[in-house]
Every structure is written in C-alpha cells, then in structure tokens.
Amino acid sequence: MSSTDHGPEGLPAGGALRVMGSETEYGIHAPSAPGANATYLSSQVIASYAKLTRERLHASPGAGWDYTDETPLRDARGWSVRRTQAHPDLLTDMEPVLTAEGVALAHGPAELELDGDQEPALMNLVLGNGARLYVDHAHPEYSSPEVTNPLDAVAWDAAGDVVVLAAVRVLAGDQEQGPINLYKNNTDGKGASYGSHENYLVPRAVPFADLVKGLTPFFVSRQLMCGAGRVGIGQDGRTPGYQISQRADFFEAEVGLETTMRRPIINTRDEPHSVADKYRRLHVIVGDANCSHVANYLKFGTTAMVLSLIEAGACPAIEIHEPVAAMHRLSHDTGLRETVRLLDGRRLTGLELQWVYFEAAAKLAADAGVAAEHGGDGHTAAVLRLWERALTDLESGPDAAAGYVEWAAKQRVLEGYRARDGLAWDDARLGLVDIQWSDVRPERGLAHRLLSKGSLERLVEDVDIARASIDPPADTRAWFRGKSIQRFPANVASASWDSVVFSPPGSYRLQRVPTREPLRGTRALTEALFEEHPSIEGFLTALLGERHT
C-alpha cells in the first residue's frame, strides 16, 4: 500500500500535514475562596468571556453547543458501553448541569452573579474563531478549531490562553467575585490530574489494532521531547524529585475508553466528528499541556508523522514489555539513561526509541517527496529538523535543550532556586514555582516571561496568536463555523464540530447545516458566499437553495 492511498482529501500523505486540534483543561483556583465549587468558578470564566465579547467587542459571545452527533460511549474496538454502566464522566453528550447546592458551595449565589442579563452559570460557548469554550469536569476547557498543520496547531492552542486570560482579567476587576487564576498545567499536586488532549483525523480503513501497536512505544517515549516537567513523583507527588511529564504517573492501562480514571495510553473513544464510515478521530490523552511553542509543535508534528507511518504500513515493529511501567520509569529519569525492555529482548533508552521512529519518518517523507525544501508540503521538513535537533541535544543532557524543551527549561529554573536557597525537592516553595510556571497571566507565568525574554524559543508571534483568538483557520470547516457566528450572531442557535444550526428570523424551524467533511467549508470555498449575502435570509437561500423556506 503506497503512502498516497490514505489521508484526508486535499492533504498530501507521508508527512506532518493532517487535520488536528487540541483540548486544554485549565487548572483553576480562587485565592479568596480556596474551597469554592470548581464547576461554578469554571462557569464564571465562560460567562466572563461571553460578557467581554458582547459588551466590549460589540459582538455575539458565541453559540451554544449542538450535542446531536455526540457518541462518547462508542468504543473503537467495535462495541458501545451501555449508558447505565458508564461512569458519569464519560457522558459528555449532554449539557453539564450545575445544581443549586453547587452554586451555594461557591461563595453564596448572590455574591457570584454577574451584572446584566448574562446567566450566572454559562457552561458552553462556540466562539467566532471556531473554538469551543466550556466547562468540563470542573475545569474551564478550550478546544481549538481544526487546523491542518502543527504550526497552526500551536497558534490556535495558544489562542486559548489569550481567551481565558481575557476572562481572568474581567474577573480580577469584579469586587464581589474576586480573582480566579488559571494554570495551563495537568495536576494540582494533590493527586488530581486534568487533561490536555490532542485529536487527529485518521482514515477508518486503518485497523485500530495497527494504531495501538504503532503508537504505544512512541507515546511512551514522546514525553522526552514534549513533557512539561513536574515537581514530585507519584500521583500525589509526595515522593521528592522532579520528573519529565506532568501526566505520566496518572496512566494505569494500555488501552481503554476512560479519560478520567484508569487512564489508558491509547484511548478508544470512537467519536469521529466527521464522515463516520470514512474517518475516525484519534483521541490522544497522554500529552502534557505545553507552554513551550517548540514542545507543542513537536507533540503535534511528530505524532502526525507517526500516523503517516502507520497508514503507509511503514511503522517500526517495536513492542514494549509493560508499557505503562515503562512510561513511568522514563518520566522519572531526567538523566535520560533509563532503558525499557522490548518483547524481542532488546533494551532501548527513550531517546533510542525516538531515533527509530525519526529515521522511519524521515525515510517515508523523503520517499513521498513531502520533506523537500522546494516542492515539499512546507511543514514536514521543519518538523524533521526540530525532531532531530531535540534528540541530538538531549543526548548531550537536558541543559543542552533547555531553550526549547519545556521540562528541561523548567528544570533549569528550579535548579536555580535550589542552588540559590539550598532547597530540597520536597520543599513546598518548589511546588509553588512549578505552578507559577503555567500561570496564564504573562506578568506572573514564568513560561510567559521566558518567552518574552527570548529564553524560551518562540515559533508564533503574539500578534498572530491574538489574531487566532478571534479569527478561525482558513483551510478547514472551522472557517465556516466561526464566520457564521461572526456574521450572523443572532441567527446561530448552536454549533458543533460537524454542524451549524441556524435560527432563521420569523421562523420556528431550526436549520441544521452538516459540516462532516473537515476540509470543506474553508475560506476558499465559502468566503464569497458570506461577502455576497450579508443578510441571513439571502445567505441561507444561497447555501441551501430550495431546502430553505
């Protein structure tokens, strides 16, 4: 099977181009009310951003969420979990409900209500940049719009930080509510973990078993380049030390449907958000939330290339003995000398595993012609250069890569505090530094400060990230979703990844427009439609023809 037999329509195969996106749950803390209900506080983040958008930007705050095609209990291995047997955390196909008791557990409902006509417990928004901002498992979550390359994935992921920062600024000025702080990290240091997920479009023709076999060794070792670093060992962080990944210790299974308990390296949720018999959405839950542009870029770019290897039948034949334990060991070894045992008897370090994948990916990209500096796809060559650079630098030790590999950069900062103040790894002050690293406020977040000084490499400029927080990507269906919300704010009732639901004026009938092909609804295909039809009536007539009455 050739490498051109797979891949979404319109994207060259064999390299780093692929429909992809991110989901980030932010850590949340109210300094003036440490025991406040986190779900309610998270709803205030959503409501505050809606209020800001409506009142200061003179635009719609966004649309609600269309749950019609949500299928969170369908398993990629060929079955569905019965609803009565599913853990409540899996039931993401229904609007979350905040009870009166939950509201009361914040400060008291009267103290937390926002002024104006905005409801105090807003849980879901689809934004004008095509993203989703909502409450998920007691955290505010930003799900980026779909993009087609790893550089755009970095930009629209970082746009989420801009979005939630705007809400944080609004809340900081609310004298009754008091400030709410948000952190782009994955654990509270007390045994709880929250996710930073990735999504990749994969042809359904690729057997899921091939994905499991090809991705497991890669995910076990990918953290060496993409980990965000963490103070403390073990889920509760009580064992003194520093490790590579925020998330590794929280994984307990190799394959499974769950995301908040008994977390698996390979998640089996089969919720394609696209043409179901043509594509699957690979839901990746093993990654850390990255503040480093390069770490995030490598996370998306290298994973996309390994998926290309699997689709082409060219993935390295590697199987790890006890991959969950191997993931933990590699995360705990900042010296990068730990080896993992393969089923064929060999022992390889995490870096050696990554070199195997790199060499296979470089060969496939060269054979497919997508990595050529002239005539390539414009992205794969850059991913390969950074991948090779990271592995080469890490072979010399973490400090050689501390300008762009996030866990190494954080380790350098922490070691500076340790040397200056004589701190042991179990000193609570180091835990506070760890948390401050990921603060979304640029004046407080250590990662933001390093980026602004040039001590942490930047791939996307702030002006482009700010633009991504407002406008959707031009080359996916996110363009149609976002522009519909921007142009017709009063007439978009709801939206999802694969639909936009319009509410025509003077009609009780909603008009649902499916958007199941991720590479349709682009600016090239729909911009003229928006420009030529400024009224919703004319727009829907041109879009739907006789189907619209």
Which CATH number belongs to the domain containing residue 255 in this structure?
Answer: 3.30.590
pLDDT tens, position by position, 374-423: 889 999 999 999 999 999 999 999 999 999 999 999 999 999 999 999 99
Query: Residue 272 has what pLDDT?
Result: 92
Could you tell me which residues are beta bridge partners of residue 283? 199
**445 within 8 A of 436, measured Cβ to Cβ:** yes
- The candidate with the shortest Cα–Cα distance to 289, out of 445, 177, 426, is 445
Range of the domain at 380: 1-20+187-455
Biggest alpha carbon–alpha carbon distance for the chain: 75
**Are residues 423 and 481 located together in one domain of the fold?**
no
**131 within 8 A of 156, measured Cβ to Cβ:** yes
**Does 110 have pLDDT greater than 50?**
no
Mean pLDDT of 429-455: 97
**Are residues 543 and 449 located together in one domain of the fold?**
no
Please report which residue ranges of 458-522 form alpha helices under DSSP H. 462-468, 478-487
pLDDT tens, position by position, 12-39: 899 999 999 999 999 999 998 878 889 9
C-alpha count within 13 angstroms, C-beta hemisphere, residue 221: 30
Cβ within 8 Å of residue 474, ≥6 positions away: 522, 523, 524
The C-alpha atoms of residue 389 and residue 403 are separated, in whole angstroms, by 12
Confidence band of 79 (pLDDT split at 50, 70, 90): very low
**Are residues 380 and 523 located together in one domain of the fold?**
no
With H, G, I as helix, E, B as strand and everything else as coil, classify residue 6: coil
Q: Is pLDDT larger for residue 383 or for residue 92?
A: 383
Asked whether residue 248 is assigned to any structural domain, the reply reads yes
State which amino acid sits at residue 242: Y
**Does 57 have pLDDT greater than 60?**
no
The residue out of 406, 422, 455 marking a domain boundary is: 455
Confidence band of 88 (pLDDT split at 50, 70, 90): low
**Are residues 349 and 493 located together in one domain of the fold?**
no
Query: Residue 59 has what pLDDT?
Result: 60
Confidence band of 118 (pLDDT split at 50, 70, 90): very low
**Are residues 251 and 374 located together in one domain of the fold?**
yes
Distance of alpha carbon 36 from its chain centroid, rounded?
26
Q: How many domains does the chain have?
A: 2
Which residue matches tokens 């990944």?
A: 245
Q: What is the mean pLDDT of the chain?
A: 89
Cβ within 8 Å of residue 57, ≥6 positions away: none
Mean pLDDT of 193-198: 94
**Does 373 have pLDDT greater than 90?**
no
Asked whether residue 61 is assigned to any structural domain, the reply reads no
**215 within 8 A of 266, measured Cβ to Cβ:** yes
Determine phi and psi for 376, rounding to 5 degrees: -80, -170
Describe the crossing of helices 350-368 and 208-226 by its angle, rounded to 10 degrees: 120
Asked whether residue 299 is assigned to any structural domain, the reply reads yes
**Are residues 232 and 281 located together in one domain of the fold?**
yes
Can 136 be counted among the known catalytic residues? yes
The C-alpha atoms of residue 245 and residue 224 are separated, in whole angstroms, by 8
Residue 396: how many other CB atoms lie within 10 Å: 10
**Are residues 422 and 510 located together in one domain of the fold?**
no
The residue out of 425, 455, 485 marking a domain boundary is: 455
**Are residues 424 and 283 located together in one domain of the fold?**
yes
Asked whether residue 43 is assigned to any structural domain, the reply reads no
**Are residues 373 and 272 located together in one domain of the fold?**
yes
**Are residues 296 and 349 located together in one domain of the fold?**
yes
**409 within 8 A of 288, measured Cβ to Cβ:** no
pLDDT tens, position by position, 265-297: 999 988 999 999 999 999 999 999 999 999 999
**Are residues 541 and 397 located together in one domain of the fold?**
no
With H, G, I as helix, E, B as strand and everything else as coil, classify residue 410: helix
Residue 111: how many other CB atoms lie within 10 Å: 12
Asked whether residue 408 is assigned to any structural domain, the reply reads yes
The residue out of 404, 425, 455 marking a domain boundary is: 455
Asked whether residue 462 is assigned to any structural domain, the reply reads no
Asked whether residue 490 is assigned to any structural domain, the reply reads yes
> Hey, CA dihedral for 328, 329, 334, 338, is it positive or negative?
negative
Which one from 136, 249, 288, 393 is the annotated catalytic residue?
136
Asked whether residue 108 is assigned to any structural domain, the reply reads no
Query: Residue 270 has what pLDDT?
Result: 87
**Are residues 502 and 368 located together in one domain of the fold?**
no
